[in-house]
Chains A and B, each alone.
Chain A
Amino acid sequence: MTILQIRSELNLHTRCENQVENEIDRGPARAGDEELCKDYVKDYPRASHRPTRPSRKYNCHGLTFSSRRTWIWKPTEIAKILKDDEYEQIDLKDVLPGDVVVYSTSGDAEHSGIVIEAGFVPMILSKWGPAHEVVHRVNDCPYDSMFITYYRIKT
């Protein structure tokens, strides 16, 4: 039987076989995490808060770019993924379900998600840090939506 460490890094490669720095934290949720999540449910009543418990196993970037397997926290790694995996920037008018959105502040990708419904204000599936997964309008979340960019992966 494999014994896993509480925290470790997964082998996660881009299409160009470059390792993406990541950290999975398998520890349980801390006391108070659930309560803080409930606060966000109250603060964002129009969003759909999925019944996933708080977890540090993956974050928004982990959901968007690594199938919910791990936590990616360095903006340089997001830039690496976008480049190596050949994501192309697209205009809002061309956005379709399945595209991804990246929220940036001062050039750092601080949030991301997957578009699940297109439109003038697209609907996004994401995870809010260690909190739960949320389906929210692109501008209805605790992250700065001033600088958002939509991408589609090239196939």
Chain B
Amino acid sequence: MTNPIAVDLTQAAKTYAIANTPYFLVRKLQADQSVRAITDTYSGPEILDALRLAVAKEPSSASEAVRPYALLTALWFKPDMTHLREASQISAPAWSWFSHIASVLIETFSPVQRQLIEVPAQLSSPYVSIGSTIPVKRIIIAP
């Protein structure tokens, strides 16, 4: 069955092809635009479903091999960690780093409150920090 999340993971696969450690892979995936695209396009439950499907069979290509890690990282960008926690419970024996990466992502999860507001055209949209481990709460004061 085709994975419902159709995102080009070529760059992620290229990174995975030279990853010596899970930490390196996580750092690179967190900076990968395709991973951000998954977060922005799909809901937590959709990503979770795609993750379950992705680990259901042994990977036969580099893209399939990196997909579960990309989906885990996509969940890390979500504003709450419910689905990331749920994902960490999934059994993925063919992916040696799965549990470890899930733990690292949970440990470094930063609860970010995102608020969508209507702003006049001259104001830029708020920037949400993704690198900090400090809880962030942004208060946006609109005129």
* Residue positions of A touching B, CB distance < 8 A: 7, 23, 25, 30-33, 36-37, 39-40, 54, 59-61, 73-75, 105-106, 108-112, 128-131, 142-143
> What string of 1s and 0s marks CB contacts (under 8 Å) between B93-136 and chain A?
00011000000000000000000000000000000000000000
- Asked if B23 is at the interface (CB within 8 A of a chain A CB), the reply is yes
A129 — which chain B residues lie within 8 A by C-beta?
Answer: 16-20
Contact segment of B34-42, B58-66, B81-89: B58-66
Please report the C-alpha to C-alpha distance between residue A142 and residue B15 in the assembled complex, in whole angstroms.
Answer: 9
Query: Shortest distance in angstroms between B95's beta carbon and chain A's nearest beta carbon?
Result: 11
Please report the C-alpha to C-alpha distance between residue A73 and residue B65 in the assembled complex, in whole angstroms.
Answer: 17
B21 — which chain A residues lie within 8 A by C-beta?
Answer: 73-75, 108-110
The size bracket of the interface on B is 20 to 34
- Asked if B13 is at the interface (CB within 8 A of a chain A CB), the reply is yes
Q: What are 5 sample pairs from A and B whose C-beta atoms fall under 8 A apart?
A: A37-B17, A73-B20, A111-B24, A112-B20, A129-B16
* Residue positions of B touching A, CB distance < 8 A: 13-14, 16-24, 27, 59-63, 65, 96-97
B63 — which chain A residues lie within 8 A by C-beta?
Answer: 32
A7 — which chain B residues lie within 8 A by C-beta?
Answer: 96
B20 touches A31 (CB 8 A): no
Please report the C-alpha to C-alpha distance between residue A129 and residue B22 in the assembled complex, in whole angstroms.
Answer: 11
Query: Shortest distance in angstroms between A136's beta carbon and chain B's nearest beta carbon?
Result: 12
A32 — which chain B residues lie within 8 A by C-beta?
Answer: 13, 61-63
A61 touches B20 (CB 8 A): yes
Please report the C-alpha to C-alpha distance between residue A25 and residue B65 in the assembled complex, in whole angstroms.
Answer: 14
A73 — which chain B residues lie within 8 A by C-beta?
Answer: 20-22, 97
B18 touches A105 (CB 8 A): no
A105 — which chain B residues lie within 8 A by C-beta?
Answer: 23-24, 27
A110 touches B24 (CB 8 A): yes
A23 touches B61 (CB 8 A): no
Please report the C-alpha to C-alpha distance between residue A106 and residue B107 in the assembled complex, in whole angstroms.
Answer: 15
Query: Shortest distance in angstroms between A144's beta carbon and chain B's nearest beta carbon?
Result: 9
A112 — which chain B residues lie within 8 A by C-beta?
Answer: 20
Partner of B61, one of A31, A40, A61, A108: A31
| A111 to chain B: closest residue by CB | B20
| A37 to chain B: closest residue by CB | B17
Residue of A33, A60, A61 with highest tally of chain B CB at under 10 A: A33
Query: Shortest distance in angstroms between B8's beta carbon and chain A's nearest beta carbon?
Result: 13
Residue of B21, B22, B63 with highest tally of chain A CB at under 10 A: B21
A142 touches B18 (CB 8 A): yes
Known: A106-B23, A110-B23, A130-B18. 13 other contacts (CB 8 A): A25-B96, A30-B59, A32-B13, A39-B14, A60-B20, A73-B22, A74-B21, A105-B27, A109-B21, A128-B17, A129-B16, A129-B20, A130-B19
